Structures are given as C-alpha cells and as structure tokens.
Amino acid sequence: MKLQYDCIPCLFDRAKFECDLAFGKGNEEAKKRALRELLVFLLEHYEDAPPSLVGTQRERIIQKFSRRDVFSEIKERSYRTALEILPAAVEFYKSSEDKLEALMRIAAAANSMEYGVKDHRFDDETFKREFRSVLSEKLNSNLVEIRGAFERYDRVLYLTDNAGEIIFDVFVANALEGMGKRVVLSPKSAPVLNDATADELRSYEAELRRRGLKIPEVVPSGACIGVCLEEADEAFLKIFWDDSFLILAKGMGNYEALSEFDEKLEGRLIYVFRAKCEPVARSVGVRRGELVARLV
C-alpha cells in the first residue's frame, strides 16, 4: 500500500501526539525539530513509500530527540488491561461452535488497542466494558478461504502488533497449537510505536502461565512498523519466505508493508485487524472501523 493523500495529516497528527508524550507541554524547540525532520523525510519519499516506512522514520526521529520509549507507560497499562479482559476471550472461544471464526474475531477485536490514530478513539476502561460486544461485531472476512488455508498449512508465522493485544495473540496461538499447528510468534525486537516487543512478552511469562498459557516459539520481526525485509534478521526471513508457513499478519502496519508483496504471498497470507483509518479501509474495501480477517 503506497502513501495516500489522507495519510499525511494522520502521520503528523500522530507525530504531534507522540511529541506531546515525549516532551510534555514544554520543549517546543525539540518538538519543532522532530516535525521538521519528519517533513523532510516525507518530501523525499512521498511518491514511493508505504505509510509504514514513513511511520517508522517518525518513531526513530522522536526516539532520537527524546531518548526514550515514549509509549512505555501506555504499554504497561495495555498489558494490565488485556490480562483483565482475557477471561472474556477464553469464555467466548469455549462457547463458540466455530472455533476458527472465534479465534479470528478475538484476534481482530484485540487490534482495537491502539492510541494516536486519527479518528480512532480508544481508552482502556471503555474497552473493558465493551469487549464482549466487540467480539460479536461484523467481521468482514472470507472465512471459507481462511478455513481452507488452515487445513493446508500446519505451520503458522504469527506477526503481532500492539502491546496488550499480544496477550490475546498468545491465547490464539495456543489454541492453534491445540489444533496441531506449529506457531512461531513474531513481535518486535525493540520498541517502535506501542507495538509489543519480545522482551516485554517474556516479562509477562509468569502471568500467562498462571492463566494456563505458554509463550510459543518467538522469532522477532525487527524494529519497524509492519515488516521491513531489508532490516529483518536472517532467522525471521528464513521463516517468512518458507512456503510451508501460513502468515497471519496482525494490524494495519503489517497490511501497509506486506500488501506490497501480496502476489508473492498469495494463498498463504491472512490479514487480521480493525480498519481504524480511512486509507487502509479504502484499500481493503471495507468501512472504517470494521473488523477484518482476509486471506490474500
């Protein structure tokens, strides 16, 4: 997916949101320097870049000036929220006749856990109250094709997205393992946005174990929004290009990056997310706000 006209205000809205997190009400100069550097990068890459590439550069610019993970407190709160809500997901799965559809719904609903996206309003307390109803929202999907893919593939590369959300991904991965699948979970190798990192996930291992869950095999995807194949480690690339793996890609960032490779990954790539912005919704052919699970 290439950068679209209405991606630009969203990228800068989010940059302002993150600068306010990083620098508070003061340090206007640092904020302006960060936005100026992002503007220069955008002008150089406007014609050919996916939004995920510009977003990754935005994160690196803000980290350079702030020298910290600006989402650390928000991420910690997200993990606590997810652990609190997890029993509702487990109950929903156990009571569902169609187990695979239930897993796709849980995975897509969990992708609601996102901050700073233009026109997407999210807060933890509201999500706690509404999570059960979110699980029953319309799921824009091709479930027949998805079911066929899971019948063909015994191995799954599961690309994760946001902090907190990954708690539900572990549950989904464990359920898939219970169906006889080998699952490789792929969070980030270092902080970018509010995405979950491998180290963060491991720090919650005891909490997950107490809830009857185990962390699957972990191979990080890198420190970019979505996937940057030029920067990914060899261990990740070996699995990514292995035709025996079905790829389950969570979140809009993975869609923005991987849709450039749809033809090469046809038949073994499933996108799962909430379409939180208009350009992504338009690209996929759904309404903004809908839950999505689509096999390419």
Q: What are phi and psi of 246, to 5 degrees?
A: -85, 135
Q: What are the pLDDT tens digits along the chain (296 aa)?
A: 989 888 998 899 999 999 999 998 778 999 999 999 999 999 998 888 899 999 999 999 999 999 889 999 999 999 999 999 999 999 999 999 999 999 999 999 999 887 655 555 667 888 888 899 999 999 999 999 999 999 999 999 999 999 999 999 999 999 999 999 999 999 999 999 999 999 999 999 999 999 999 999 999 999 999 999 999 999 999 999 999 999 999 999 999 999 989 999 999 999 999 999 999 999 999 999 999 999 99
The per-residue pLDDT for 41 is: 94
The per-residue pLDDT for 24 is: 85
Q: How far apart are CA 112 and CA 122, in angstroms?
A: 7
The per-residue pLDDT for 120 is: 54
Q: What are phi and psi of 73, to 5 degrees?
A: -70, -40
The per-residue pLDDT for 210 is: 97
Provide CB contacts within 8 A for 80, sequence distance 6+.
none
Q: Nearest to residue 270, comparing CAs of 92, 104, 98?
A: 104
The per-residue pLDDT for 117 is: 59
The per-residue pLDDT for 114 is: 76
Q: Is 79 helix (H, G, I), strand (E, B) or coil?
A: helix
The per-residue pLDDT for 54 is: 94
Asked if 52 and 221 count as a contact pair (C-beta separation under 8 A), the reply is no
Report the run of H or E that residue 186 belongs to, with start and end: strand 182-186
Q: Which amino acid is at 134?
A: V
- What separation in angstroms does the CA of 37 have from each of 12, 14, 44, 104, 171? 12, 15, 11, 39, 40
The per-residue pLDDT for 27 is: 84
The per-residue pLDDT for 123 is: 76
The Cα angle at residue 109 between residues 139 and 213, in degrees rounded to 5:
125
